[in-house]
Amino acid sequence: MKKIGLFTSGGDAPGMNAAIRAVVRMAVYKELEVFGIRYGYRGIINGDFIPLESRSVSNIIQRGGTILRTARSDEFTTREGREKAFTNLKKTGIEGLIGIGGDGTLKGLSVFMDEFPVKVIGVPGTIDNDLYGTDYTIGFDTAVNTALSTIDKIRDTAAAHERLFYIEVMGRDAGFIAVDVGIASGAEFIAIPEVETNIEELRKMLSNYRKDKSSAIIIVAEGDREGDAFEIAGKVKDAAGYDYRISVIGHVQRGGSPTAFDRLLASRLGAAAVEKLVNGKSGVMVGQINGDIAETPLSETWEKQKGIKPGLIELARILSL
Ligand code: F6P
């Protein structure tokens, strides 16, 4: 293999730039030519390739977003789109592809590899942490820390006004961000899609808290099955007499300078992805499990459920007594 292509796709995540840097520098070290593909799958279809060298990725390890930009492509979901994409790769001589993103990105790689003779490696980049085959995805730790610093600030005003706050965090259909920020912020209740949110039980808990807690925090994962923060607040109705407010943290969770943890994870996984391609591997996602680099067949990353660590929800409840 002489030439490889690299792209980011789907929602951006802090640490994607650190992963791009690692891929490029490891590729240079392994004497491969590396092309950055702009705008994800759309860029493969449009042939939007830029040659990258070691110095092309200087001064990006600390930056959020992705220098390659990102997009969601409808055209790549069609056979015609994928054919165009393969023709462009062939024209340029690209034999291996590294895609950094979430489950949509990994599914795209898997379909592409099944239809065309191209080697593919996935790198988990999403704030949601919802992929099997890695303890953490790139961007999750930064998103948790960003949300946490916001929640700490909300707690100040909640305490000052003796209010209850419903705070909604991202995570799509998963509650990983909610659980971690819920425990780390000392929230009174965490609503996540993985566990049924019992509104009656929540009402009872609030009535109890009202006896001796002047303020309280409820973390709502955006994908909770009872609804978003507004819907849950609406169902709880009078909130046991608390004056309440609702705060949706939103896209701030996707930006900002990556934490040391995310930079390190991205550096290790980006480099490992290149090594896998060089060793002839294809169709796997690189991840980190118990501190070691691991590889998982692409389809398992979305078919198998990672699941919230047992005991964490229980721990959150006990610690908010
Ligand atoms: O997958 C990352 C994520 O930020 C989710 O947490 C969220 O549900 C979604 O993307 C938001 O997507 P968009 O930026 O397209 O609104």
Task: List pLDDT tens digits, range 100-130.
Answer: 999 999 999 999 999 999 999 999 999 999 9
State whether the beta carbon of 175 lies less than 6 angstroms from ligand 1. no
Q: Are residues 133 and 149 in the same domain?
A: no
Task: List pLDDT tens digits, range 278-294.
Answer: 999 999 999 999 999 99
Q: Which of 222, 254, 286 is the last residue of a domain?
A: 254
Say how far apart CA 247 and CA 249 lie, in whole Å: 6
The CA 70 to ligand 1 mean position distance, Å, reads 13
- Find how far residue 250's CA is from the centre of its chain: 14
Q: Are residues 263 and 229 in the same domain?
A: no
Task: List pLDDT tens digits, range 232-275.
Answer: 999 999 889 999 999 999 999 999 999 999 999 999 999 999 99
Assigned domain for 309 exists: no
CATH code: domain of residue 207 = 3.40.50.460
Q: Are residues 126 and 144 in the same domain?
A: no
Say how far apart CA 165 and CA 229 lie, in whole Å: 10
In sequence order, the 6+-apart residues with CB closer than 8 A to the CB of 102 are 10, 11, 124, 125, 126, 128, 130, 131, 137
Q: Are residues 54 and 145 in the same domain?
A: no
Percent of the chain surpassing pLDDT 90: 97
CATH code: domain of residue 27 = 3.40.50.450
Angle CA 132–137–141, to nearest 5: 135
Instruction: Identify the helix (H) or strand (E) that includes residue 143.
Output: helix 140-161
Do residues 127 and 177 lie in contact, with contact meaning Cβ atoms separated by under 8 Å? yes
- pLDDT reading at 15 higher than 90: yes
Number of domains in the chain: 2
Q: Are residues 8 and 132 in the same domain?
A: yes
Q: Are residues 18 and 111 in the same domain?
A: yes
Task: Tell if the pTM clears 0.95, that is, is over it.
Answer: yes
Residue whose CA is closest, atom 8 of ligand 1? 172
State whether the beta carbon of 163 lies less than 6 angstroms from ligand 1. no
Q: Are residues 118 and 167 in the same domain?
A: no
Say how far apart CA 43 and CA 304 lie, in whole Å: 29
State residue 190's pLDDT score.
97
Q: Are residues 145 and 225 in the same domain?
A: yes
Task: List pLDDT tens digits, range 188-199.
Answer: 999 999 999 999
Do residues 236 and 199 lie in contact, with contact meaning Cβ atoms separated by under 8 Å? yes
Q: Are residues 199 and 115 in the same domain?
A: no
Q: Which of 232, 254, 276 is the last residue of a domain?
A: 254
Report the catalytic residues: 128
State whether the beta carbon of 168 lies less than 6 angstroms from ligand 1. no
Q: Are residues 70 and 80 in the same domain?
A: yes
Q: What integer best gives the mean pLDDT of the chain? A: 97
Q: What is the position in ligand 1's atom list of the atom closest to the CA of 254?
A: 4
What own/partner pairs with CB < 8 Å and gap ≥ 24 does 147-150 have? 147/177, 147/181, 147/249, 147/253, 148/181, 148/184, 148/185, 150/249, 150/252
Q: Are residues 226 and 153 in the same domain?
A: yes
Assigned domain for 249 exists: yes
State residue 239's pLDDT score.
86
Q: Which residue has the higher pLDDT, 137 or 72?
A: 137
Q: Which domain holds residue 212?
A: 140-254
Assigned domain for 51 exists: yes
Please give the radius of gyration of the chain, using alpha carbons only, rounded to the nearest integer. Answer: 22
State residue 270's pLDDT score.
99
State residue 310's pLDDT score.
84
Query: What single DSSP character describes residue 10?
Result: S
Task: List pLDDT tens digits, range 140-149.
Answer: 999 999 999 9
Assigned domain for 314 exists: no
Do residues 124 and 148 lie in contact, with contact meaning Cβ atoms separated by under 8 Å? no
Assigned domain for 222 exists: yes
Assigned domain for 313 exists: no
Query: What single DSSP character describes residue 138?
Result: B
Q: Are residues 8 and 133 in the same domain?
A: yes
φ, ψ of residue 124 to 5 degrees: the values are: -75, 110
Assigned domain for 170 exists: yes
Per-residue pLDDT, averaged over 198-212, amounts to 96
Do residues 124 and 138 lie in contact, with contact meaning Cβ atoms separated by under 8 Å? yes
State whether the beta carbon of 121 lies less than 6 angstroms from ligand 1. no
Length of the chain equals: 321
Assigned domain for 96 exists: yes
How far apart are the two ends of the chain, measured CA to CA in Å? Answer: 58
- pLDDT reading at 185 higher than 90: yes
User: DSSP strand E in 55-118: where?
Assistant: 96-101
The CA 142 to ligand 1 mean position distance, Å, reads 15
